[in-house]
């Protein structure tokens, strides 16, 4: 039982981190950035950078590198299209993810690579008769620390306050002097930090790296954002946590014969949630126009 609780908390925390990165960019740009998956892939790839440095260096390199990649993505791909309609931006994000995955396949090969970035976390610790994986504990601690730090940034820093205001009503925020480029760049940079962290945790959990490793996380993040409530950062984190908990709780509760239908059941529950609360768990009606 305790093991299931830790598994659920770990997966929920990881999904919450993924969802926050997507929700941030959606909040300020009304853009569902599917290229977020490519950022996770870049983060994973940076963990295999040559050099033989200690693992903290690789972790920092990955997070910092993805942050830079996210900023470059905004500056090169999305800023020139500012003001374009939603479908144009969506197609651009698909083009980016396809292009970057293809590039990764060329540079790194299309076969899965083994990465053992945090070997010391491969063991487990006993707790009340259950075996808890160190990686689960590390994932929970990292995700909670990141979310607390991010929450403090949003709540107490002037830039964080501007990001919150812009997420609610970008047009009005600009009329008060909030610089659009600065806020959008901040959202992409923070999104990059979330993607980089998610990449490190994913690779540490699975021990593998593929060019398409970001595809499933970005879909999970998208679903979590919808469950939580489009436009709400806290909703996205909650949606991610709910999805993670469901993903662990259902297999544990279902009989063996029903296990193949696990994902179908998870998404049926998602549909039921949305039928009851179409605006998401944290109902935050999307206000303002996309810019």
Partner 1 sequence: MLEVTDLHVSYGPISALRGVSLRVEEGGLVAVVGPNGAGKSTLLWSIAGDLKPAVGEIAFAGDSILGRRPEDIVRLGIALVPEARHVFSSLTVRENLRLGMTVRRDRRAAAADLRDLEERFPVLAEMRSRPAGTLSGGQQQQLVIARALLCRPRLLVLDEPSLGLDPHNVTIVFETLKSLQAAGTTVLLVEQNAAQSIEMADRAYVIRNGLIEMEGDGAKLLDDERFAEMYLGAGAVAR
Instruction: Find the shortest distance in angstroms from Cβ 162 to partner 1.
Output: 7
Residue 211: C-alpha distances to residues 2, 8, 91, 214, 243 (Å): 34, 27, 20, 8, 24
Q: What is the C-alpha separation between 291 and 285, in angstroms, rounded? A: 17
In the list 82, 179, 262, 290, the residue contacting partner 1 (rule: CB under 8 A) is 179
Instruction: Find the shortest distance in angstroms from Cβ 208 to partner 1.
Output: 40
In the list 60, 121, 137, 180, the residue contacting partner 1 (rule: CB under 8 A) is 180
- Angle at the Cα of 208 (from 207 to 210), degrees rounded to 5? 160
Residue 118 or residue 187: which is nearer to partner 1 going by CB?
187
Q: Which of residues 159-178 bind partner 1 (CB under 8 A)?
A: 161-162, 164-165, 168-169, 171-178
Residue 111 or residue 171: which is nearer to partner 1 going by CB?
171
- Tell me the per-residue interface mask from 18 to 57 with partner 1, x by CB under 8 A, - otherwise: ----------------------------------------
Q: Which of residues 119-158 bind partner 1 (CB under 8 A)?
A: 158
Residue 110 or residue 287: which is nearer to partner 1 going by CB?
287
Contact of 231 with 167, CB cutoff 8 Å: yes
284 is an interface residue for partner 1 by CB under 8 A? yes
252 is an interface residue for partner 1 by CB under 8 A? no
CA 127 from centroid of its chain's CA atoms: 29
Q: What is the C-alpha separation between 205 and 228, in angstroms, rounded? A: 25
Q: Which of residues 181-200 bind partner 1 (CB under 8 A)?
A: none
Residue 52 or residue 177: which is nearer to partner 1 going by CB?
177
Query: CB under 8 Å to 205, separation ≥6 — which residues?
Result: 14, 135, 139
Q: b or e along 67-98 (b: 16 or more beta carbons within 10 Å of the residue's beta carbon)? A: bebbbebbeebbeeeeeeeeeebeebbeebbe
Binding site for partner 1 (CB under 8 A): 158, 161-162, 164-165, 168-169, 171-180, 284, 287
């Amino acid at each position: 039982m305790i093991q299931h609780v830790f598994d659920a908390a770990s997966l929920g925390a990881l999904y919450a981190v993924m969802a926050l990165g997507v929700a941030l960019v959606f909040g300020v740009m009304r853009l569902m950035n599917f290229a977020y998956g490519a950022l996770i892939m870049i983060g994973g790839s940076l963990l295999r950078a040559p050099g033989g440095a200690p693992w903290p260096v690789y972790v920092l390199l990955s997070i910092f590198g993805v942050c830079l990649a996210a900023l470059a993505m905004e500056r090169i791909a999305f800023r020139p299209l500012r003001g374009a309609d939603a479908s144009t931006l969506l197609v651009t994000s698909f083009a980016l993810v396809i292009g970057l995955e293809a590039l990764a396949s060329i540079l790194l090969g299309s076969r899965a690579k083994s990465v053992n970035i945090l070997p010391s976390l491969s063991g487990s610790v006993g707790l009340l008769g259950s075996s808890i994986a160190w990686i689960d504990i590390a994932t929970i601690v990292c995700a909670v620390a990141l979310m607390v730090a991010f929450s403090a940034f949003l709540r107490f820093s002037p830039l964080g306050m501007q990001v919150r205001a812009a997420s609610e009503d970008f047009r009005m925020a600009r009329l008060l002097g909030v610089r659009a480029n600065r806020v959008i760049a901040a959202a992409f940079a923070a999104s990059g930090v979330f993607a980089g962290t998610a990449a490190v945790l994913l690779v540490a959990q699975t021990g593998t790296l593929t060019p398409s490793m970001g595809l499933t996380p970005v879909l999970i993040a998208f679903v979590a954002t919808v469950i939580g409530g489009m436009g709400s950062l806290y909703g996205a984190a909650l949606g991610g946590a709910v999805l993670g908990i469901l993903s662990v709780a259902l297999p544990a509760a279902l009989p063996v014969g029903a296990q193949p239908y696990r994902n179908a059941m998870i998404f049926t529950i998602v549909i039921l949630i949305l039928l009851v609360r179409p605006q998401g768990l944290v109902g935050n009606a999307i206000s303002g126009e996309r810019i």
